[in-house]
Structure 1
Amino acid sequence: MTTLSRGARGAAILAAPLALFLFWPARAETQPEIRFVPAYFSGDFGTGISTGMTYVPLIFIFGSTRQELRVTVPYLSVTTSQPVTFVGNEIIPRGPGGRTAESGLGDIVAQEEYFFLEGGRRRPWLSGLIRIKAPTADDTRGLGTGEWDYGPGAAVIQPLGARWNLLGEAQYVVRGDPRGTDFRNTWWLSGGLQKKLSGSTAASLYYERMQSVVPGRPDLVDLILGYDHGFARRLTLRTSVFVGLSDTAEDYGLSAGFSMR
C-alpha cells in the first residue's frame, strides 16, 4: 500500500476545496468565496525568543444566508533565534538550539457555522459553530503539534443603526496533547465594532483574548484594526493591523490581501 507524503496529502486536501469553489453551482441562495490574505507577525511572544512569522492562508468559503462552511489552508514560514513550536496563535519553546528557519504547510482548519436567528435592522444575528483543526503541519519542524484540535462556539452580530454593527464570538478549543505535554483546553473570545463607511468600504476594531495552552501562562491579548474596500462586485481588498496587548502576543502584525466571489 502506497503512503502519501505530508506534502502530497496537503496538495490533495487543497485540491478538494479549490475544485468545489471552481465548480460550485451559481445559485441565488449560495455564494462561494475565496480569500488570500497573507500576514506577518513579529515579537518574542513572551518567550524571550525573537520570532518572525509569515502566515499565508487560502480560505475557501461556501455559504448561504443561514449557513457558512470555511476551510483554511495555510502556508507557514517561521524564523526564530531558538527552536519553537507554533500552537494556534501561540509560540512555545521547543528545546535548546540556535537560529532556525522552518516553512511548509500549516494545520488545515474547517469551520461550520449555522445561523439560528436571522438578523434585521434591529434584531441580532445569532449563530453556533464547530471548528476542527487537522494535524497537517510537520510537528518535527515546529509548524504544528501533530494533534487534532476541535471545539464548539457561538457568535452574535447586533446591528446598531444603519452603519454600525456590534460583534462578539466565543469558542472553546479541545487541544490534542503531543507526547510529553499536557496542553490545557482553552477559551478564545473576541468582541468589536464594525462601521460601514460607504456602500463599498468598512472599518472594524476588535479586542481578542485567548487562553494559553500552558497552565499559568498569561492570556494572549490582541487589538485588531481592519479596513475593507470593495473595488467591484466580486473583488474586495482586506487589510488589518495587529497590536499585541500582552507579553505572550506578538509585538505587531500586518495583513493585506483580497477576497473574490
Structure 2
Amino acid sequence: MFDLGMTLKNVFVFLGITMAGSVLASPTLKFSAGGYSSQGDYGLSSDTQIQGIPVSAQYRAWPWKLKLSGSYVHLKGPGTLEDADLGNGSQFRIKDVYGFGDTSVTIEHESVSRPAASRWYWSSGIRIKLPTGERDKGLGTGEADLEPRFMLMWLNETWRPYVRVKYTIRGNPDDRKLDNGFGATLGVDVPVNPQVRVGAQVSGRESSTSTGHDRLDVLMTSTVKWDSSFSSTVYASGGLKEGSADYLFGVDFSYSFKL
C-alpha cells in the first residue's frame, strides 16, 4: 500500500542531502505576489467565484530551483478551491469564506544542452502540496499530495515552444477516495524584445474523482521586465471543459536579487 506520509519524509531527506552536497553558483532570490479573479459553475448548481492573492518565494542557484508558494482567497459558491466540481460533499451549499489555501513546495533540477545558437532546456522535479487549507471551508483536501513533473523547452531567439507533464499522487481524506491523475501543458513563449515577452498555452488535467470533470484551459500571458530586478505579468484564461473556470484574470509582480 502506498504510504504518502513516509514518501514525503523520504523526499525531504533526499532533497536536504542533495542540496547540501551541491555547489550552487550565483544564487538568486525572487519574491512574487499578485491577484486574480475567476468564475465558473464546474457542472454544479450555481457559479463559484474565487478571488485570490497568490504569493511565492523562489531560491535559484544553477542547477537547482526551490519554490514555496501559497495563496489567500475569498471563495463564494458551492465549489472548492482544489477541485471546484467536488462541491465539498454538497453541491447545493453556498459558501462565502476567506482563508489560506494549501501550500506548495517545489524542487527542480535544470539542464541546458551545449550548442549556443539553438538549445534545449529541460527540468525535472517534484511538487509537494501541504494541507494548510481548511477542508471544511472548501480551501483544501486535508491531505498532502506528491507530484513528479517534467518540462522540455526549445530555446531560440524568435520563439520557445515547450511541453510540461505531471502526475499527481493524491492523499485521501478519511471519507473520500481521490484518484491519481496526469496533467499536461503545451505552450509557446515569444520574446518580443529584451524587456517584453508574450506567451500562450493549453493545459489539461484529469479529475480527482471518477464522477468529476476533467480540466482544459487556454492561457495567455504578457510579461514586462522593467529593470534587472522588477517584472510584472498579466494573464487571462478561459475554460474549454466543464471542470475549468469560465474565465480567470490576474496580475503578478516579481522582485529578484542576487545573494
Q: TM-score range by the shorter chain?
A: 0.7 to 0.9
Deviations 1:92-111 (A, max 9, x none): 11316543201111100010
Task: Name the CA shift for 1:233/1:93 in 2 (closer, same or farther; >3 Å).
Answer: same
Q: 151, 154, 158: which is aligned to 1:155?
A: 151
Q: 192, 198, 207: which is aligned to 1:197?
A: 192
Q: CA deviation at 1:248?
A: 1.2
Q: What is the DSSP-based 3-state SS (H/G/I as helix, E as strand, rest coil) of the residue aligned with 2:86?
A: strand
Deviations 1:36-82 (A, max 9, x none): 121111011122331100121111111023111111021121001x3
Whole-angstrom CA distance in 2 between matches of 1:100 and 1:238 = 30
CA RMSD for the aligned pairs?
1.7
Q: 215, 220, 223: which is aligned to 2:210?
A: 215
Query: 1:69 and 2:63 equivalent?
Result: no
Partner of 1:57: 54
Task: Name the CA shift for 1:58/1:115 in 2 (closer, same or farther; >3 Å).
Answer: same
Partner of 2:122: 126
Q: What is the DSSP-based 3-state SS (H/G/I as helix, E as strand, rest coil) of the residue aligned with 2:80?
A: strand
Partner of 1:3: none
Q: What is the DSSP-based 3-state SS (H/G/I as helix, E as strand, rest coil) of the residue aligned with 2:56?
A: strand
Q: Unaligned stretches of 5+ in structure 2?
A: 1-23
Q: What is the DSSP-based 3-state SS (H/G/I as helix, E as strand, rest coil) of the residue aligned with 1:93?
A: helix
Q: 125, 140, 145: which is aligned to 1:144?
A: 140
Partner of 1:109: 104
The answer to whether the 8 Å contact 1:37/1:238 transfers is no
Question: Which stretch has the larger CA shift, 63-72 or 103-112?
Answer: 63-72
Whole-angstrom CA distance in 1 between matches of 2:46 and 2:59 = 39
Q: What is the DSSP-based 3-state SS (H/G/I as helix, E as strand, rest coil) of the residue aligned with 1:202?
A: strand
Whole-angstrom CA distance in 1 between matches of 2:49 and 2:195 = 33
Whole-angstrom CA distance in 2 between matches of 1:128 and 1:200 = 27
Q: What amino acid does structure 2 have at the position aligned with 1:167? A: Y
Partner of 1:86: 81
Query: 1:184 and 2:193 equivalent?
Result: no
Q: What is the DSSP-based 3-state SS (H/G/I as helix, E as strand, rest coil) of the residue aligned with 2:136?
A: helix
Q: What amino acid does structure 1 have at the position aligned with 2:86? A: I
Q: How does 1:209-248 map to 2 (within 5 A)?
A: 209-248=204-243
Q: CA deviation at 1:140?
A: 1.5
Whole-angstrom CA distance in 2 between matches of 1:90 and 1:195 = 32
Q: Unaligned stretches of 5+ in structure 1?
A: 1-26
4+ runs deviating over 4 angstroms? none
The answer to whether the 8 Å contact 1:207/1:222 transfers is yes
Deviations 1:192-226 (A, max 9, x none): 01100111000000100010001153320000000
- What fraction of aligned residue pairs are identical, expressed as a percent? 19
The answer to whether the 8 Å contact 2:111/2:122 transfers is yes
Task: Name the CA shift for 1:35/1:118 in 2 (closer, same or farther; >3 Å).
Answer: farther
Whole-angstrom CA distance in 2 between matches of 1:93 and 1:49 = 11
Partner of 2:168: 173
Q: How does 1:12-27 map to 2 (within 5 A)?
A: none
TM-score normalised by L of structure 1: 0.83
Q: What is the DSSP-based 3-state SS (H/G/I as helix, E as strand, rest coil) of the residue aligned with 1:233?
A: coil
Whole-angstrom CA distance in 2 between matches of 1:86 and 1:36 = 18
Question: Which stretch has the larger CA shift, 211-220 or 108-117?
Answer: 211-220
Whole-angstrom CA distance in 1 between matches of 2:147 and 2:73 = 23
